[in-house]
């Protein structure tokens, strides 16, 4: 019988990938890129190596995904900030403030 992809399995895959990515983000923030290893990420995510490599080709790939995730978070915060201020100076002040907060948090 062929494998069928359902919404439930897609959602579970998304959650599993997100869990691995979040573990990597936390480790990169705590230890830095050089000191973080794939086995550390696997252990922190409580998953197996096969599952890790099903979603990511290696440390470089998950690091790039982590940076992309961070960039999306920053962009979302900035867009939300822009919609809350009609004054250009207020927008700029708030954008810089939000950017500094996001970068120091990660």
| pLDDT tens column, 73-101 | 878 877 877 777 777 787 788 778 877 87
pLDDT mean across residues, the chain: 87
Taking CA atoms, 20 is separated from 25, 29, 41, 66, in Å, by: 9, 14, 7, 10
Spatial distance between the Cα atoms of 59 and 77, rounded to a whole number of angstroms: 27
pLDDT, one tens digit per residue, over 1-24 is: 556 778 888 888 889 999 999 999
Spatial distance between the Cα atoms of 68 and 17, rounded to a whole number of angstroms: 14
Q: In a 10 Å sphere around its CB, with 0-12 CB exposed, 13-18 middle and 19+ buried, how is residue 62 labelled?
A: buried
**pTM (2 d.p.):** 0.75
Residue 3 Ramachandran class (φ > 0 left, ψ -120 to 50 alpha, else beta): beta
């Amino acid at each position: 019988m062929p494998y069928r992809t359902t919404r439930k399995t897609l959602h579970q895959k998304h959650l599993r990938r997100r869990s691995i990515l979040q573990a990597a983000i936390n480790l990169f923030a705590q230890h830095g890129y050089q000191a973080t290893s794939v086995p550390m990420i696997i252990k922190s995510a409580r998953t197996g190596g096969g599952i890790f490599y099903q979603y990511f080709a290696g440390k470089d790939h998950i690091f790039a995904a982590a940076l992309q995730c961070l960039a999306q978070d920053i962009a979302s915060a900035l867009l939300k900030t822009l919609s809350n201020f009609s004054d250009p100076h207020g927008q700029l002040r708030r954008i810089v403030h939000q950017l500094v907060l996001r970068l120091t948090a990660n």
